[in-house]
């Protein structure tokens, strides 16, 4: 059976899309160009910022999200992925605008958490203020019986600065240091693992920076996409 074509609703932002594409390539067991998956990427950074729209302060990105999703379907994608956590606030609107499946990043992370941490009960999530305010991870993980906690207001400001810093190309060790401090606060409150709930964050926080499992939502989504495209299960994260 032929592999399915992956459609990537990208540009939200471009660095996150680049990271997602590289992860797909590294997850694909290819020995030649022809062994790789067909991926159609619409890198559309002109879609308005999702966070201000959710917080009532910016332009609605729905028309751009829907147009880009429909463009990918018309181009031949068999299913869609959105390597942007905050954009999943608009997930239902995107799904109803296309006739192909759309993977849900929070649902995939919730499932991956059970593979990463035995008897997981609580996850710490680092994400945009809008993602946290909208309760996107709270709902998805709650359906799996997992509690979600986020940073306090000061910690959230640190995370926001890091996310928008990556968008501006700022990815130095000082950013990592501040994120580790915020993460340690979540661990002290009982988090058994940390979720990178924004697809910019893999550039500035790595598994070796923490003493607990780190669930990279972009990597989780990439694994799910390869699994769906090939029909071959992806290796689960090591339990701790």
Give the residue carrying structure tokens 């926080």: 205
141 given a catalytic annotation = no
**Annotated catalytic residue within 198, 224, 225, 226:** 198
Which residue, among 183, 188, 189, has the nearest Cα to 210 in the 3D structure?
Answer: 183
Terminal-residue alpha carbon distance, the chain: 36
Q: Exposed e or buried b for every residue in 26-58, given b needs 16+ CB within 10 A? A: ebbeeeeeeeebebbbbbbeebebbbebbeeee
Tokens of 150: 């986020």
Phi, psi of 17 (to 5 degrees): -65, -40
Q: What's the CA gap between 152 and 8, in Å, rounded?
A: 33
**Annotated catalytic residue within 84, 113, 134, 159:** 84
3-state secondary structure string across 99-163: CCCECCHHHHHHHHHHHHCCCCCEEEEECCHHHHHHCHHHHHHHHCCCEEECCCHHHHHHHHHHH
84 given a catalytic annotation = yes
Q: Active-site residue numbers?
A: 84, 198
């Amino acid at each position: 059976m032929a592999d399915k074509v992956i459609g990537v609703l990208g540009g939200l932002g471009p660095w996150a899309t680049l990271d997602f594409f590289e992860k797909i390539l590294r997850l694909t067991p290819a020995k030649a160009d022809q062994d790789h998956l067909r991926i159609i990427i619409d890198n559309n950074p002109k879609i308005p910022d999702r966070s201000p729209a959710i917080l009532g302060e910016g332009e609605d990105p729905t028309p751009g999200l829907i147009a880009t999703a429909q463009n990918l379907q018309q181009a031949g994608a068999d299913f869609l992925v959105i390597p942007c956590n905050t954009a999943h606030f608009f997930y239902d609107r995107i799904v109803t605008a296309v006739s192909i499946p759309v993977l849900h990043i929070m649902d995939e992370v919730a499932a991956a958490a059970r593979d990463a941490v035995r008897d997981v009960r609580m996850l710490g999530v680092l994400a945009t203020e809008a993602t946290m305010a909208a309760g996107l991870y709270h709902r998805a993980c709650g359906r799996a019986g997992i509690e979600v906690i986020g940073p306090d207001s000061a910690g959230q400001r640190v995370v926001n600065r890091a996310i928008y810093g990556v968008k501006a190309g700022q990815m130095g060790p000082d950013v990592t240091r501040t994120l580790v401090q915020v993460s340690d606060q979540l661990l002290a409150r009982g988090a058994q693992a940390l979720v990178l709930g924004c697809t910019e964050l893999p550039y500035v926080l790595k598994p070796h920076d923490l003493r607990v499992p780190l669930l990279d939502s972009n990597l989780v989504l990439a694994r799910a996409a390869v699994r769906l495209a090939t029909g071959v299960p992806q290796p689960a994260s090591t339990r701790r």
